[in-house]
Amino acid sequence: MTTLRLKPWAYRVGAMVVLCAAQAAMAHEVGPEQEGPENLHDLWRTWGWEPGTLIGLALSAWLYSAGVWRLWRASGVGHGIRRWEAWCFCGGWITLFVALVSPIHPLGQVLFSAHMTQHELLMLVAAPLLVLSRPVIAFLHALPPRMAGSLGRLSNSAPWRSVWNVISAPLVAWLVHAVVLWAWHAPVLFQATLHNEWVHAAQHLSFLLTAILFWWAIIHGQRGVTNYGAGVLYLFTTAIHSGLLGALITFARTVWYPDYDHTQAWGLSPLEDQQVGGLIMWVPACTVYILAGLAMVAGWLRQSEMRVVRRELATDAR
């Protein structure tokens, strides 16, 4: 039977692997500016077949599958990684494929609303599903023991421990994700993604990684009444500030991103396209964060109830 108990350094190794796999998955082929589809007929023939993205997706799928296979072969199906967690990884992986490879990706060069759809898929669907899938355990078991040990020694170094302890703190993760979200929607930065693939890759990479960090801090943080309360606070405040940004974009009377000037072929004016994009950011983001916050409230109540029961049992035992 393979032991499933991981030392603290293992989680730091897993975080390193997750970040590396995410970076590979988000890599764009840097070259001439990519042209988007001109109409609906061209849309289904336009896919984001970029080698860096495909290699990253294939690598992450192989690592997770190999790790789960080794765990289940040694300990039985559902041990170490539960079935629903494996399905979460499948859902997150498919979401990455849809956001980065399907026609949504090139359409993001033409429609602001399509670009916003990509971002919401990355931050609100792919990131939490990947975190729920517990890739730490699967990735570690996929690596050769010697390599895992070397990464363990590296991750156990004082500099890395210090950095990880800081960036994985819920407050820091919340702040970093918020700053990245607002900064990239500044017109000068957002429009730069349309003309430079390096900038485009940096935008998608920062959205995905900070979202993974945020959800990781919320989901895998220390449990307890105080931590549940903090998680609820971070989720609801994220819903507020991201919803505010979406509302500002939706109700703006001028076009913030004038480089999206080919929207007429899709039956939208640039301002209408911007309004749709703002709504896509506003409504789904608030819905996901609020639902996650309500789930945390339910966990908070269960935790409080268990504490009361244990206290009563301890009193009766006396």
236 CB burial (10 A radius; 0-12, 13-18, 19+): middle
Residue 27 confidence (pLDDT): 45
pLDDT at 6 over 50: no
Residue 16 has pLDDT above 60, yes or no: no
Higher pLDDT, 203 or 18: 203
Report residue 251 CA to chain centroid gap: 27
C-beta separation of 43 from 107 below 8 A: yes
Amino acid in position 67: G
Per-residue pLDDT at 244: 95
pLDDT number for residue 68: 93
C-alpha to C-alpha distance for 156 and 78, rounded to whole angstroms: 29
Q: Of the segments 134-138, 267-271, 303-307, which one has the largest average pLDDT value?
A: 267-271
Model pLDDT for residues 51-110, shown as the tens digit of each residue: 888 998 999 999 999 999 998 998 888 888 899 999 999 999 999 999 999 999 989 989
Q: Give the DSSP letter string of 153-205.
A: HHHTSHHHHHHHHHHTSHHHHHHHHHHHHHHHTSHHHHHHTTT-HHHHHHHHH
Summarize pLDDT for 125-154 with one digit per residue, the tens: 999 999 999 887 888 888 887 887 777 677
The answer to whether 100 touches 174, Cβ cutoff 8 Å, is no
Reported confidence tier of residue 310, pLDDT bands at 50, 70, 90? low
Backbone φ and ψ for 94, nearest 5 degrees, come out as: -65, -40
pLDDT at position 44, please? 77
Q: Compare 151 and 271 and report the one with higher pLDDT.
A: 271
| Contact (CB, 8 A) for 180 and 206 | yes
Phi, psi for 2 (deg, rounded to 5): -85, 130
DSSP state letter for 126: I
- Residue among 69, 87, 234 nearest 137 (CA): 69
The owner of tokens 């429609």 is: 111
User: Residue 23 — very low, low, confident or very high, per pLDDT cuts 50/70/90?
Assistant: very low
Looking at residue 37, its pLDDT comes to 72
Mean pLDDT for 219-229 is 65
Calculate the CA 156 to chain-centre distance: 25
Average pLDDT of the chain is 82
